[in-house]
Amino acid sequence: MESQVKLLDEIMKVSDRFEKALPALTTAQSAVRSEVYRDGALPIKVKWLIGLGIAIKAGCVPCILARTRRALEAGATRDEILEVCSVAIAMGGTICTSESLRVIQFLDELGVK
């Protein structure tokens, strides 16, 4: 499996080009993310973890990697992230297992114990 850290870096470079090509769309998407991913009734860490579970179920690689990173930045632990993976697997089966392997590799590459 390729490096998940390098993959996310490559995705972010392309995302920057996408943002320049469609600034109105990406500004609107950014406004939605800013509104949703903030502390409210649920803390931001929980919201990033929920987003990760949904991303795993959807099989969206960029979403999985970005939300894993953001959950970590919000204070999530490896155990919390793996528990989210287990819930996704319970809901989504084998596709979620394979995407959870990606999460484990990403955490390992980042040195998250």
Q: What is the CATH number of the domain that holds 59?
A: 1.20.1290.10
Neighbour tally for 52: CB within 10 Å:
28
Q: Which domain holds residue 60?
A: 4-110
pLDDT digits (tens, 9 = 90+) for 89-105: 999 999 999 999 999 99
- ∠ CA 20-4-27 to the nearest 5 degrees? 25
Please tell me the distance from the alpha carbon of residue 28 to that of residue 41, in angstroms, as a whole number: 23
Instruction: Find how far residue 16's CA is from the centre of its chain.
Output: 17
Closest CA to 56 of 20, 104, 95: 95
Domains held by the chain: number:
1
Could you report the per-residue pLDDT of 2-51, keeping only the tens digit for each?
999 999 999 999 999 999 999 999 999 999 999 999 999 999 999 999 99
